[in-house]
């Protein structure tokens, strides 16, 4: 009988990668195969796994990013895709892998953070993580309306796919208060899956946006551009006469944060492991940078 063994760096091993995908689908209903086939799974996303008889039975993934916090750059490791086969849970496998991830990140001088499942809160507290919440940021007063040309992008179109990748890799941060960088791989994962039908090109702004209008609310998920963007201008481009609010899925610049026309509420629980506070008092972690 083959013994369980630790494996990593196996994205080009088809058998193990597809087993990893099956476990991710069974656990979270998500997939990585198309993302990989497009060449968008980069070295920044690293599964640490236990394998047994050719099957991935437990995993903790490291996603290396930079956080930009009030003008300061912090090298970080975001933990994600923490999962174990149902029949192997309760055996300490994920705990073992988490300790490996923490040790590796500390050796590289990286702070660590993650978004937990509700059932995992006590687990991360026991491992020494600090719990905070990020914020939901809603603009409740609309700016001027400004029509513009916008074109829906098709990820299966090779030219569109290349442009989306290029803009993700050359993306300029949206806020000096809080944003992430060197994270094009995870943003492209969202473009591949949950946001693939919500991606538009705005030539006038030299931007690619992910958004949708639902009822009277504009949901602005992300803005990719190789130049500094005026977020209010983008909102004006995308809104229509029925739009009453804008839900932002990232931290905007100070011009918006200091506005009396925003609503702030507590949102997602977030754990971090760092010798000093890692996040500002008010921020919304970018949806498209969550691993």
Q: At what angle do helices 158-169 and 184-192 cross, to 10 degrees?
A: 150
Tokens of 118: 């509700």
Q: What domains can be seen in the chain, in order of their start residue?
A: 5-130 (3.40.630.30), 137-289 (3.40.630)
| Per-residue model confidence as pLDDT tens digits over 205-218 | 999 999 999 999 99
pLDDT mean across residues, the chain: 94
- As a whole number, mean pLDDT of residues 7-23 equals 97
Q: Kindly report the pTM of this predicted structure.
A: 0.94
pLDDT of residue 277: 86
8-state DSSP, 288: G
Average pLDDT, integer, range 144-153:
86
Q: Which residue has the higher pLDDT, 118 or 152?
A: 152
What are the tens digits of pLDDT across the range 244-254? 999 999 999 99
In angstroms, rounded to a whole number, what is the distance separating the alpha carbons of residues 176 and 222?
16
Bridge partners of 113, per DSSP, are 78, 272
pLDDT range class, residue 134, cuts 50, 70, 90: very high
What average pLDDT does the segment 60-73 reach? 95
Q: Give me the residue label for tokens 């998500």.
A: 30
Characterise 186 by phi-psi region: left (phi > 0), alpha (psi -120 to 50), beta (else): alpha
The stretch 176-195 carries a mean pLDDT of 97
Instruction: Say if CB 280 and CB 177 are below 8 A apart.
Output: yes
Task: Please list, in sequence order, all residues whose beta carbon lies within 8 angstroms of the beta carbon of residue 162, skipping any fewer than 6 positions away.
Answer: none
Among the residue ranges 8-17, 58-67, 119-128, the one predicted with the least confidence is 119-128
**How high is the pLDDT of residue 230?**
94
Contact 267, 133 (CB under 8 A): yes
Q: What CA–CA distances, in Å, run from 29 to 24, 25, 52, 179? A: 7, 4, 22, 27
Q: Give the pLDDT mean for 78-90.
A: 95
CA atoms within 13 A on the CB side of 113: 27
pLDDT score of 1 more than 70: no
Q: Is the pLDDT of residue 229 over 60?
A: yes
> What's the pLDDT band for 104 if we cut at 50, 70, 90?
very high
pLDDT of residue 143: 72
Q: 232 pLDDT exceeds 90?
A: yes
Average pLDDT over residues 57-68: 97
User: What is the C-alpha to C-alpha distance for residues 135 and 262, in angstroms, rounded to an integer?
Assistant: 12
């Amino acid at each position: 009988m083959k013994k369980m063994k630790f494996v990593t760096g196996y994205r080009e091993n088809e058998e193990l990668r597809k087993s990893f995908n099956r476990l991710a689908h069974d656990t979270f209903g998500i997939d990585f195969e198309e993302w990989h086939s497009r060449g968008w799974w980069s070295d920044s996303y690293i599964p640490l796994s236990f394998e047994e008889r050719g099957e991935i039975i437990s995993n903790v993934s490291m996603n290396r990013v930079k956080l930009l916090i009030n003008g300061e750059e912090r090298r970080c490791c975001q933990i994600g895709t923490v999962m174990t086969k149902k029949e192997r849970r309760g055996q300490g496998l994920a705990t073992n892998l988490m300790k490996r991830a923490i040790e590796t990140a500390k050796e590289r001088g990286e702070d660590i953070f993650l978004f937990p499942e509700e059932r995992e809160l006590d687990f991360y507290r026991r491992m020494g993580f600090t719990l905070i919440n990020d914020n939901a940021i809603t603009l409740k007063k609309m700016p001027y309306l400004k029509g513009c040309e916008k074109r829906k992008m098709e990820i299966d179109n090779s030219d569109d796919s290349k442009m989306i990748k290029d803009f993700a890799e050359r993306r300029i941060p949206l806020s000096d208060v809080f944003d992430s960088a060197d994270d094009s791989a995870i943003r492209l994962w969202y473009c591949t899956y949950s946001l693939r039908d919500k991606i538009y090109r705005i030539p006038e702004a030299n931007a690619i946006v992910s958004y949708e209008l639902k009822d009277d609310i504009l949901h602005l998920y992300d803005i990719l551009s190789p130049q500094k963007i005026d977020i209010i201008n983008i909102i004006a481009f995308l809104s229509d006469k029925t739009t009453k609010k804008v839900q932002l899925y990232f931290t905007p610049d100070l011009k918006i944060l200091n506005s009396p026309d925003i609503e702030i509420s507590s949102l997602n629980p977030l754990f971090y492991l760092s010798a000093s506070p890692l996040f500002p008092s008010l921020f919304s972690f970018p949806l498209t940078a969550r691993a």
